[in-house]
Amino acid sequence: MTKDMAGLCQGDTVLCSTLVGMFDNAPWAPLVATFVTVILILVLAFVVRNIAHRLITRVINRAATGGSIASRFRKGAVTDGIDALLHERRKQRAETMGSVLKHVASIVILGTGVLTVLDRLAIPIAPLLTSVGILGVAIGFGAQELVKDFIAGMFMLLEDQYGVGDVIDVGGAIGTVEAVTLRVTRLRDADGRVWYVRNGTITRVGNESQGWSRAYMDVRVAYDADVMSVRVLLEHVAEEIWADAELRESKIVEEPQVFGVEQLSDSSLVFRISAKTLPAAQAEVSRELRLRVKTALDAAGIPMVAAA
């Protein structure tokens, strides 16, 4: 037994040999030295893990606070609203990635510490590593779709493709994002139906709520209508909307524009008026555009033509 205990320090570092020497090479000294070594390894593993978590937290906190986009638009409540939304999106994305990185760091560091302890205790780890490798390959083949979903979810979060509250089109479903995980995205469409879409199956994403949106209206008038009169009338409508304090401070980020004649046909002229809006506010602004344009055309005696 003494020989077996002495073998615990065979080929070990200076630490174990030094501890054995401190006990005057007593028969039980290698066992005590090994026990102390194991404790130090575990303590070191937890210290390194805590340091890694602190570094990850610091990086995540820095990533969650990005620059403002106020320079792109005018100063005001709308800019503050966009900045608040973007800050919240960055915060959610950073927290999710931070949680994943912390779990990965814990598994790697503590796993390495456990393997090192087993090696110090003279327990063969080669069969264990082989078994884990075979199990990993088997799980990899059996859970390819799951791995694909997780990888796609990680890249989706890193690239900030969409977040909770966004209105997106993922091909098979269109709706508002209610929840995002590394595996699935939950949507609710206009009919109230809930869709669960696996991240690995999403090949394209159309996001209607990122950064800013655009509301527009195509105005069809008779072919013989006076082009300049219609254009001036629409420009007045755009100025009225821009002068509306409620819309300007809460929904519209730039003055509406009139693009002139957008299309020509044998029966109508098509003018287009558009406005850059806060994310997801384009529907409400579009309704206001339609109301004001119709009212202005009726007052001027210019009839609208139905789409062919």
Please identify which residue in the block is written with the tokens 């009139």.
258
Is 154 domain-assigned? no
- pTM for the model stands at 0.56
Q: What CATH number does the domain containing 278 carry?
A: 3.30.70.100
Q: Answer with the residue of higher pLDDT: 283 or 136.
A: 283
Strand pairing partners for 176?
Answer: 167, 188
Is 107 domain-assigned? yes
Is 149 domain-assigned? no
In whole angstroms, give the CA distance from residue 132 to residue 111: 12
In whole angstroms, give the CA distance from residue 52 to residue 117: 20
- Provide the 3-class DSSP secondary structure of residue 149: helix
Q: What is the pLDDT of residues 203-227, one digit of tens each?
A: 889 888 777 888 888 899 988 888 8
The pLDDT of residue 68? 45
Please, what is the average pLDDT of the chain?
78
The pLDDT of residue 147? 81
Is 171 domain-assigned? yes
Q: Indicate whether 86 and 60 sit together in one domain.
A: yes
Is 92 domain-assigned? yes
Mean pLDDT of 173-187: 87
User: What domain range is 291 assigned to?
Assistant: 213-300
pLDDT of 25 > 70? The answer is no
- Provide the 3-class DSSP secondary structure of residue 124: coil
Please identify which residue in the block is written with the tokens 């109508």.
268
pLDDT of 48 > 90? The answer is yes
* Residue that terminates a domain, selected from 107, 142, 177: 142
Is 286 domain-assigned? yes
Q: What CATH number does the domain containing 19 carry?
A: 1.10.287
- Count: domains in the chain: 3
Q: Indicate whether 127 and 239 sit together in one domain.
A: no
Sign of the alpha-carbon dihedral angle for 9, 12, 18, 21 = positive
Q: Indicate whether 119 and 32 sit together in one domain.
A: yes
* Residue that terminates a domain, selected from 207, 234, 262: 207
Q: Indicate whether 16 and 136 sit together in one domain.
A: yes
Q: Answer with the residue of higher pLDDT: 241 or 250.
A: 241
**pLDDT confidence tier of residue 2, bands split at 50, 70 and 90:** very low
